[in-house]
Amino acid sequence: MPSALAIALWAGCGLTAGSLIALAVRRREQQTPRQQLLAQVILTSGLFAVLAWRHGSALQVSAAAGYAAAAVPLAAVDLRTGKLPNWLTLLAHVLTLAGLLVATLVHLRASGLLAALVGSIVFAALYGAWYVFLPGHMGGGDLKLSAVSGAVLGWQGWPTASHPHLLTAGVQLLAWLAGALLLIWLLQAAAYLVARAVRRRLATLALRHGPFLVLGTVTALVLAP
């Protein structure tokens, strides 16, 4: 179990990253309320701390942390505006890729990059089919975010799928990705039912998929062995 100091250091990294991205959001999305910016900074810092507590204080959490740094403000912006800005989605890709590379180099686990590629392809293919065959039910931003969500889930899920037989490991990885996808949809379905029961106008917010894609992905990252 990581020390309290290590967890605090990761929380500090989250606070720094969250603050820098919040400044960028304030500059690019000028209508963003200060309360939202403060909330996303606090959430990012807290999430970094939880990831460090759950998976250790080493750089193995860098992939998940890179994703969380940009995904938290993405979810906040989408919840408020119904849009996922391209520049912030691109930042999520860049930070996640950087985190994946750092984690891979530290642990010399090149197979994790292959798992990340598989996760990205699986999510992009499923969301791409949804985007093409059910037009109007999902935005392009959700499709772009799904690819990076699948990548970080693939990398995080690969250790649980480690097996001397590649085929068996691949099946386990696909099962993990399917479970994470199911979690994402269950969270949105539950939120929609609750919002509709409490106040119908809130149900419109629950139809925005981006926040639940982020929430489900982050929840799976925290729960992963």
- Return the pLDDT at 204: 78
- The whole model's pTM is what? 0.91
Residue recorded with tokens 């068996």: 168
Conformation bin of residue 58: beta by default, left when phi > 0, alpha when psi is -120 to 50: beta
Q: Give the tens place of pLDDT for each residue, 136-162.
A: 777 889 999 999 999 999 988 876 555
Binning pLDDT at 50, 70 and 90, where does residue 183 land? very high
At residue 29, φ and ψ (nearest 5 deg) are: -115, 80
Binning pLDDT at 50, 70 and 90, where does residue 31 land? confident
Q: Does the pLDDT of residue 1 top 70, yes or no?
A: no
Q: How far apart are CA 23 and CA 21, in angstroms?
A: 5
